[in-house]
Amino acid sequence: MLKKYRIIDYDFFLVIMVIGLTIIGIMAINSAEPASKNKQVAGLVMGIVLMIFISLFDYLFLIKFYVLFYIINVILLALVLSPLGSNTNGAQRWINLFGITFQPSEAAKILLILFYAQFIMKYKDRIKSFGFIMVCLLLLALPLGLIAMQPDLSTCIMIMTIFASIMFISGISWKIVIAVLSVSIPSVLFVIYNAVQGESSLLHEYQQRRILAWLHPEDYANSDAYQTLNSMMAIGSGQLYGKGYNTNEISSVLNGGFISESSTDLIFTVIGEEFGFVGACLVIMLILAISVRCFMISLRALNRAGEIIAAGVGAWIGFQGFINIGVATGVIPNTGIPLPFVSYGLTSLLSSFMGIGFVLNVRLQSNKYNSGRV
């Protein structure tokens, strides 16, 4: 339940970085879509309240309900595919319950981290067993399959990345790690090869087009590569210091209406154009610093569950940030995934703050133990 801690043990550095990154996001959202700013500000306030409350709550007590978390996760993801689901641009990823619209696939990230934290700690003696790893994969298959049916390939990739990080932190055998890499790397290369060989037997048509647009953007300049090319142009035009916050320059790619999803998936474009190379680097450094801080807290955790929670959240923030920025800069194929703490979206924002709340609690628990007060 709720515990008492010393204020000096609270990780204010992590809190300041998270809030600072969210404020940068609110500023960018105000430029891209002013009507959404107030909702994001409200999300920041709710997120801070949730983060503080969870950070003071004993995570070991909460994860005892890991089976319930798993069931809730599956039910919410299943409801997306029901009449309650909301379809936008050919994807059904949102549900409306009691007048509240949210995206269960974003909440799935923190719910699965909590589930595996307790599940793996409970059976930690079996972690090097291939059979146990297969059980973990089977438990992942159901929520992952429901997300794939939306369809939402980018979130599937993100959840698989979080899962891989969790298993690695848990101490699985290096032989299994090498075996997985030996299969996964050639598989990715084969998928890319298959995409360029005319009609693909492995990918949906839109997925194939995204890979081809990534490899040959000049051939898809007016279709699938349109947004990415405009995004790269906008970021480049920001030069060192940018065109200024909420700029009204005629040369602004954003103001010209050439960037869609500018408040969500391509929010980094707004930052690059208005705040330049300096602002873009600041966001990248904050994402990296938050991720590294989570991993550092993981190393000091009291138990396996704490390690998994902190490392899982660190992997989530770090890898998702890399994917989002990679899309905006043309480094990786186009995928629709938000930039943590920056993109508009209350489900994503609140889920991220909840994740940081659990990390803060892991830190508080370890500090309390190390100070000799337990």
Q: Highest mean pLDDT range out of 77-86, 221-230, 352-361? A: 352-361
Tokens representing 112 are 């699965």
The strands making up 85-88's β-sheet, listed across from edge to edge, are: 85-88, 91-97, 100-102
The neighbour count for residue 277, using CB atoms within 10 Å, is 15
pLDDT-derived band at 316 (thresholds 50, 70, 90) equals very high
User: Is residue 371 predicted with pLDDT exceeding 60?
Assistant: no
Write the pLDDT tens digit of every residue in 24-52.
999 999 988 888 899 999 999 999 999 99
CA dihedral 353, 359, 361, 367 (to 10 degrees): -140
CB 60 within 8 Å of CB 114: no
Q: How far apart are CA 277 and CA 236, in angstroms?
A: 8
CA distances from 18 to 187, 211, 320 (A): 36, 33, 15
User: Is residue 202 predicted with pLDDT exceeding 70?
Assistant: no
User: Is residue 62 predicted with pLDDT exceeding 60?
Assistant: yes
CA distances from 31 to 37, 100, 127, 135, 193 (A): 9, 25, 48, 47, 40
User: Is residue 193 predicted with pLDDT exceeding 70?
Assistant: no
Q: Residue 113, class by beta-carbon neighbours within 10 Å (0-12 exposed, 13-18 middle, 19+ buried)?
A: buried
Residue with the two structure tokens 């995928």: 335
* Strand partners for 88: 91
* Strand partners for 100: 97
pLDDT-derived band at 146 (thresholds 50, 70, 90) equals very high
Tokens representing 333 are 């194929």
Question: What pTM does this model have?
Answer: 0.89
CB 72 within 8 Å of CB 112: no
pLDDT-derived band at 351 (thresholds 50, 70, 90) equals very high
Q: What's the mean pLDDT in 299-319? A: 93
Q: What share of the chain is helix, strand, coil (3-state, %, to 5)?
A: 70, 5, 25
Predicted pLDDT of residue 229: 83
Residue by residue, DSSP assigns 254-305 as TTTT--SSTTTTTHHHHHHHHHHHHHHHHHHHHHHHHHHHHHHHHHT-SSHH
User: Is residue 53 predicted with pLDDT exceeding 50?
Assistant: yes
CB 308 within 8 Å of CB 162: no
| Cα four-point dihedral sign 63, 69, 70, 73 | negative
CA distances from 98 to 19, 155, 347 (A): 29, 25, 15
Q: What's the mean pLDDT in 142-162? A: 88
Q: How far apart are CA 168 and CA 312, in angstroms?
A: 10
Q: Which of 117-121, 127-131, 192-196, 333-337 has the lowest mean pLDDT?
A: 192-196
Write the pLDDT tens digit of every residue in 247-271.
776 667 776 667 777 788 889 999 9
